[in-house]
């Protein structure tokens, strides 16, 4: 996560916390912390927080954060994220029951294969009345977020990918349609908003709202912030770009 995105996402989470009148000393969890840049930013700002992931990406703060217990590995079968399958009986977040006030993820949930276990862990670690926020790209995004192919999240097809890539309509690191297709089949798990809401509800996490206005206001260019007040624009943004879903522990 770039420094600009780190700062923007911090502002987004902080704005949400204030809107819900959450206390300043709440305990925050970053799900899928990657290289720990965002967790480190929260920590430097004086927040009680930890980050978790099945494996860490390279970053300047990883070693220091890990030694301080500010980032922790998720317990699971295997050695990395590729080893997590739809059923993983040993999947467990390194957090106590009912210990987290606010949990969030950024561009994580669309990669989760063991979705029910992931959601179950959201519920287990959250305090009653606690919130979880999940920011992720839409399957129907104009440009699929990972491979850059137009509507590549909808049309996961080798022939379609081959045509798009031959036209240069993809990210530079996906010049081979087989690689792009393999990535989408093995590393993404897009599900509908309705499915997510029903699954979260199954584990006592009530859907609060879809707050795409927060993305436009804090993650986009300054010149587009005024669009966050338009319900139609926010709705279209959720379909054609990315969305934020917010849930509350019952």
**How many angstroms separate the Cα of 225 from the Cα of each of 135, 219, 221, 244?**
18, 9, 7, 16
Rounded to two decimals, the pTM is 0.93
Write the pLDDT tens digit of every residue in 89-138. 678 999 999 999 999 999 999 999 889 999 999 999 999 999 999 999 99
Kindly list the strands in the beta sheet with 242-249, ordered across the sheet, starting from the edge strand earlier in the chain. Answer: 71-73, 48-53, 27-31, 100-106, 126-137, 242-249, 205-210
pLDDT for the residue 78:
64
Rounded to an integer, the average pLDDT of 166-171 is 96
d(CA 104, CA 96): 16
Q: For residue 29, what are the β-bridge partners? A: 50, 103
pLDDT for the residue 3:
81
CB 125 within 8 A of CB 29: yes
pLDDT for the residue 82:
65
Confidence of residue 25 (pLDDT cuts 50, 70, 90): confident
**104 exposed, middle or buried (CB, 10 Å; 0-12, 13-18, 19+)?**
buried
In total, the chain counts a number of residues equal to 250
Residues 40, 42, 44, 50, CA torsion sign: negative
Rounded to an integer, the average pLDDT of 133-158 is 97
CB 105 within 8 A of CB 135: yes
Share of the chain above pLDDT 70, in %: 95
Rounded to an integer, the average pLDDT of 72-76 is 91
CB 70 within 8 A of CB 51: yes
Place of tokens 């979705």: 115
pLDDT for the residue 91:
86
pLDDT for the residue 144:
97
pLDDT for the residue 89:
60
pLDDT for the residue 87:
59
pLDDT at 152 over 90: yes
pLDDT for the residue 220:
87
CA 99 to chain CA centroid, Å, is 20
């Amino acid at each position: 996560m770039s420094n600009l995105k780190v700062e923007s996402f911090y502002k987004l989470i902080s704005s949400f916390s204030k809107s819900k009148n959450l206390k300043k000393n709440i305990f925050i969890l970053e799900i899928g912390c990657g290289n720990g840049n965002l967790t480190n930013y929260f920590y430097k700002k004086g927040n009680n927080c930890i980050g978790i992931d099945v494996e860490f990406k390279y970053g300047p703060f990883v070693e220091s954060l890990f030694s301080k217990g500010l980032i922790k590995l998720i317990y699971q079968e295997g050695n990395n994220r590729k080893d997590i399958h739809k059923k993983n009986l040993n999947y467990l977040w390194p957090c106590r029951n009912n210990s987290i006030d606010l949990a969030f993820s950024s561009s994580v949930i669309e990669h989760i294969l063991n979705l029910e276990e992931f959601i179950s862990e959201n519920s287990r670690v959250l305090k009653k009345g606690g919130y979880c926020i999940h920011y992720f790209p839409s399957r129907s995004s104009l440009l699929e977020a990972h491979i850059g192919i137009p509507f590549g999240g909808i049309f996961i097809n080798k022939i379609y990918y081959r045509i798009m890539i031959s036209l240069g309509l993809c990210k530079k690191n996906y010049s081979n349609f087989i690689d792009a297709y393999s990535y989408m089949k093995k590393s993404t798990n897009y599900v509908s908003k309705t499915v997510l809401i029903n699954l979260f509800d199954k584990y006592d996490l009530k859907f609060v709202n879809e707050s795409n206005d927060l993305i436009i206001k804090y993650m986009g260019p300054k010149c587009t912030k005024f669009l966050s007040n338009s319900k139609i624009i926010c709705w279209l943004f959720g379909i054609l770009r990315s969305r934020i879903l917010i849930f509350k522990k019952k």
